[in-house]
Structure 1
């Protein structure tokens, strides 16, 4: 059936057979072909057989090496460190496979060697002035961590893999930052780094370069913008402090109202609280405060004693008056036994404290 179809196609094409379509040649990857190689710009020819002239030149070089042995060994042997791999271009054509680590034999006359460091390297993206999405000019710099996973691609597909990675990182940083607002840049720096890493990796993987990490270092704002942001932050902090202070005063006023309601039920409690406050002030400031004690505080304690004294004397009006002269002050006080009131003949009231003291003395029969 296939032969008949081919004949029909040839007859329809005027007796000419259809040309064979050759498949695109792809070099196996460095890890044994487990993963497909990336799209390449330049097709290599390491599997193509050498031409006659190339074979003749190789034979002549081998003859010179044997003729100059053992001196030729000094220039034909080279070492490759563990972290590097060597690529050999013989007469300009890539030789199949990588060389190293260890000793590698080369033909110095016709072999061109390239050692590729496969360790992680750092590319510093210099500071750039970028205009954000909300028309704010900022200065941004970053650091790119990358490594070479395909030494052949890093030599064949690009002239300088390190310089190319640095330049593409600068361009990508500018493009990504230009699509973000200032607020997003300041609050989502980690997400910005991931976007830059993905964008750079989509280009450098064809060069055999793997971008491992991208970190946005500094975002420098204009001086005027920094001042406005600082004043805004200060205003927000002051507003929060006022809100907290108002809430505290509200809670304190509620607590004071509850305490006043409790103290209003008993006047003695309020007076004792007053004395406690005075005592605390005196202890803190190291001063003495002489404060008259209202007689109303002691009335509950004095009522019983006065009643007992009146019962012993046989009722009111049977008391005996007593006079006491004070030569120093010139005042005379008159009291009546049986718990009567105290009078001062000099016209002065004597104060609440004096009333309390004399009343207490009379109650105890002093």
Structure 2
């Protein structure tokens, strides 16, 4: 009798162990469990840890709640100013409502990918080339809003969208390089002209000062002689007054003839 009771208890324990093994599920920390009972969604979402379901009746589906990094394939389009470009981006999103991500959409990853590609092509058509190259922060916000609006119904929240690269045709790159070079040359000429203008003003002030003080001209001449002699010692500099040249020029001119023939 005792042996029979022990056998029954052992059988019951084995059956209970088998049942527990079939009913026990482990939900990881970054997951949430969604339970379907006979195909119908159970209201409570299973939190991380040990979850027990009814074998053969319940079905547990785990949903990853981590942030997903999804690259968006390069999309080719024509900007608003009629320039053909190829733009690729990256989308950061995560599931915020596990039951909606399982029930409302067949594959939320594929849905987000297709929506990101469509939104990226739409952004290309609405933007100018200068905006794609220099105003990416505003475009990222617009792209994030376009993707996040339908994704809310899928239980998905978009954390961030970044435009990675903008590829231009070779002809456009050469045109932009010529434009940049011409702009740099224009600025260089303006800087040189401004420097010449400032130098001419300073020289005019110096000339006025030397005219008022004749000794300053002699001091400047001596300073120039010292500077030349310091660079090349074999060079001999002899200052020659300009007034003497004018005197010799006048001396070589013929005297006017007198009217009386003398």
Structures share fold, TM-score greater than 0.5: yes
Instruction: Please list every run of 5 or more consecutive structure 1 residues that lacks an aligned counterpart in the other structure.
Output: 1-64, 296-366
What does 1:351-366 align with in structure 2 at a 5 Å threshold?
none
Query: Could you state the TM-score of these two structures normalised by the residue count of structure 2?
Result: 0.82
Q: How far apart in 1 are the matches of 2:193 and 2:202?
A: 14
Hey, what's the Cα distance between the residues in 1 that align with 2:239 and 2:95? 93
Q: CA deviation at 1:66?
A: 7.5
**How far did residue 116 of structure 1 move?**
0.9
Quote the residue 2:20 is aligned against: 73
How many angstroms apart in 1 are the aligned matches of 2:225 and 2:167?
A: 58
Matched, 1:287 2:233: yes
Instruction: Please identify the structure whose Cα radius of gyration is greater.
Output: 1
Q: Runs of 4 or more off by more than 6 Å in structure 1?
A: none
Structure 2 stretches lacking a partner, 5+ long = 1-11, 242-262
Larger CA deviation: 143-152 vs 110-119: 110-119
Report deviation, 1:186: 2.1
Partner of 1:188: 135
Root-mean-square deviation (CA, aligned residues, Å) is: 2.0
Q: How many residues align?
A: 231
Out of 177, 181, 191, the residue aligned to residue 230 of structure 1 is 177
Corresponding residue for residue 220 of structure 2: 273
Corresponding residue for residue 32 of structure 2: 85
Matched, 1:258 2:212: no
Deviation digits for residues 110-160 of structure 1, max 9, x if unmatched?
222111111211111011111112221100011111111100000000111
CA apart distance, 1:286 = 4.3
Partner of 2:113 in structure 1? Answer: 166
Offset at residue 269 of structure 1 (A): 1.9
- Who is 1:245 aligned against? 192
**Offset of residue 109 of structure 1:** 2.0
When you count helix as a share of all residues, which structure comes out higher?
A: 2
SS at match of 1:97: coil
Please report the TM-score for the alignment, with normalisation by the length of structure 1.
0.60
CA distance in 2, matches of 1:202, 1:154: 15
**What secondary structure does 2:81 align onto?**
coil
Change (3 A) 1:177 1:291: closer
Q: CA deviation at 1:99?
A: 0.3
